[in-house]
Amino acid sequence: MPAATASPQPAAPARKLLEIDGLHGGYGATDILHGVTLEVAEREIVTIAGTNGAGKSTLAKAVVGLLPRVTGRIAFAGRDLGGLAVEDRIAAGLAYVPQVANVFASLTVLENLKVVPGVDDLAARIAQQLDAFPALKPRLRQRAGTLSGGERQMLAFARALLTRPKLIVLDEPTAALAPALVQQVFALVVELPAQEVAVLMVEQRARQALAISHRGRILDQGRVVLAGAADSLLADDRMARLYLGSGH
């Protein structure tokens, strides 16, 4: 598997794909997000970083339609997603890999791939994904719950990519993985723009994630407090000290 490379750049200026403007939302009567605004262009990797409890995963859920209460505007490929169900957002070209429960543990690897809805040429698409993730081939009859952390994440990626998404939302894709597996996951992410897939990635390992991203947003208590090109954020000493920490 190729190693992740630092600071990728788009081949050419790309049009806006995801547009979020003035987003508020949360659970019950309590807002967790407070006026979040951001954009993701075609074939772009954008990282959302911040401290624990900053609202990063809540933002990911809002994009894919899993947050129960949202105000503000979320548009995808020029289409307003307000009121659109999760399955309709997936059909429009979104994909989502949650931090937990991202595969069906009791099903085999092959069964996990076969139950993805809305894929017309499913057999051909499964074959393509198995070529992209060859480590899954000898595991096809193995239950997903018995896979290693890295293998399970590969399966989650393969499931998400079966629908040919334009944008994949990743919620903490390296959570609880060993360092070597973290590098494998970032190597997978950095290859996605070449497949015409944009990435909105929520990630606790902010330094490593920004190193493979085009742009970043730093959340603090549900607000965007810093935004810019990924390399500029990494070079900002104040931002690194306050929001990235000394490690990762």
Cβ atoms within 10 A of the Cβ of 62, count? 26
| Largest Cα–Cα separation, the chain | 50
Burial of 237 (0-12, 13-18, 19+ CB in 10 A): exposed
The CATH superfamily label for domain 16-244 reads P-loop containing nucleotide triphosphate hydrolases (3.40.50.300)
Each residue's pLDDT, cut to its tens digit, for the chain (248 residues) gives: 445 555 555 444 478 999 999 999 999 888 999 999 999 999 999 999 988 889 999 999 999 999 999 999 999 999 999 989 999 999 999 999 998 889 999 999 999 999 998 888 999 999 999 998 999 999 999 999 999 888 998 999 999 999 999 999 999 999 888 888 898 899 999 999 999 999 999 998 989 999 999 999 999 999 999 999 999 999 988 777 766 654 44
Is the four-CA dihedral 150, 152, 156, 162 of positive or negative sign? positive
Kindly give the pairing relationship between strand 45-50 and strand 69-76: unpaired
> In this structure, are residues 95 and 163 in contact, taking their beta carbons and an 8 Å threshold?
yes
- Read off the pTM: 0.89
Distance CA 182, CA 98 (A): 16
> In this structure, are residues 217 and 210 in contact, taking their beta carbons and an 8 Å threshold?
no
Joined together, the tokens standing for residue 211 give 């190193």
DSSP state of 143: B
- φ/ψ of 227, rounded to 5, equals -150, 150
Distance CA 98, CA 118 (A): 19
